[in-house]
Amino acid sequence: MLKQRGYRIRQLNYRCSLGEIDIVAMDPANRTLVIVEVKTAEARDARTAPEFRVGEAKQRKLAALAGHYARRFAMTDRVIRFDVVAVDLSDAEESGVKHYEHAFESPY
């Protein structure tokens, strides 16, 4: 889906000592470094919707990971954005994928 929207995927499942980033991409519109957290749910209700399961602790961790990635690949001059891709598998007939741009701001 991100590729179809013109994003350039830099890395999938980037791992380091701090943890893992699901997707690292570049937004072609403004050359923003995009850190994407993918959340999947098989059952759907308001409390467990995938897009609402990126809490403060996970946001802090992703911000730290983004900083690590930017330093490692000499991209500290780039704006970093945090997105969430929610995959809803609750309906066997029709799975839904939603892309939430600017899902949260860095807590730092």
Indicate the domain borders of the chain.
8-104
Q: Which amino acid is at 98?
A: K
- Predicted confidence at residue 99, as pLDDT, reads 92
8-30 in b/e burial notation, b at 16+ Cβ within 10 A? eebeeebeeeeeebbbbbbbeee
Q: Please determine, for residue 23, whether its predicted confidence score (pLDDT) is greater than 90.
A: yes
Q: Please determine, for residue 49, whether its predicted confidence score (pLDDT) is greater than 90.
A: no
- Predicted confidence at residue 96, as pLDDT, reads 83
Please give the average per-residue pLDDT across 2-11, as a whole number: 95
Measured CA to CA in angstroms, residue 107 lies from 23, 63, 92 at distances of: 19, 7, 36
pTM, whole model, 2 decimals? Answer: 0.87
Please give the average per-residue pLDDT across 41-55, as a whole number: 68
What fold, for 8-104?
Trna Endonuclease; Chain: A, domain 1 (3.40.1350)
